[in-house]
Structure 1
């Protein structure tokens, strides 16, 4: 079963060696991300709306093992939650969703050298598309 953890718990897990899987788009990832996060987009944004990445599980499986301990993040938590469910259904055993996503990471001051306001503005443009 997927477990959503708050951003502080997620940070603690990552500091203990858990792997971070960022499921945002490459464009979102390039604007700022958790240090050492691996990026595999869960969806792509198209003029028609969100389209699920048909190769998501294959791409994740090519870089992570099913027994790895993983913290999944997106922008605000929605895509991360859906990605966690798919990963668990595919046999991944240790999956946590970062509640609030990268927006919460930025709000908590964990974003490092990137100016938080710039990142928050980028997050606002996504509206309800977590």
Structure 2
């Protein structure tokens, strides 16, 4: 019986440690609301829209660059500068989170936008 209790305790501890590591992996990844995007642009940050090309072409934040998440996942980094600060946005906040995590791990200065273009009320091109 003691062995069973010890085994269950060990499994619970290992499970808890595994989930803690996952949370710590993304620590330090800044996230902002849509209302902060324009102010960050004025400070020199570049908006990176990670939606697909057709979505981007339907309307995007002025001066935003387009680098779809699908291309980032394939290793595309053309035109990116690790010295540049990027604000990463998508349609709803999900793809931008994934893209931000990828770029953050590679040393890029990224800030994820928690919301997306579906709720953006500012000017678009």
Tell me the TM-score normalized by structure 1.
Answer: 0.68
How far apart, CA to CA, are the structure 2 residues paired with 1:7 and 1:37?
A: 14
Q: Look up the match of 2:123.
A: 111
**What's the secondary structure of 1:85's corresponding residue?**
helix
How far residue 104 of structure 1 moved from its aligned partner, in angstroms, is 2.4
Which structure has the greater CA radius of gyration? Answer: 2
Residues 79-130 of structure 1, C-alpha deviation per residue, up to 9 Å, x if partnerless? 00000000011111x210112111222xxx20347xxxxxxxxxxxxxxxxx
- Structural mapping, 1:43-54, within 5 Å: 43=70, 54=73
Contact kept in structure 2, 1:80 and 1:98, CA below 8 Å? yes
Structure 1 or 2: larger strand share? Answer: 1
1:4 correspondence with 2:31: yes
Q: 2:68 aligns with which of 41, 45, 70?
A: 41
Tell me the TM-score normalized by structure 2.
Answer: 0.71
How far apart, CA to CA, are the structure 2 residues paired with 1:4 and 1:68?
A: 17
Q: Any unmatched runs of 5+ in structure 1?
A: 44-51, 114-130
Count of residue pairs the alignment pairs up:
98
Q: Look up the match of 2:101.
A: 85
Q: Any unmatched runs of 5+ in structure 2?
A: 1-27
Closer/same/farther in 2, CA of residues 11 and 69 from structure 1, 3 Å limit: same
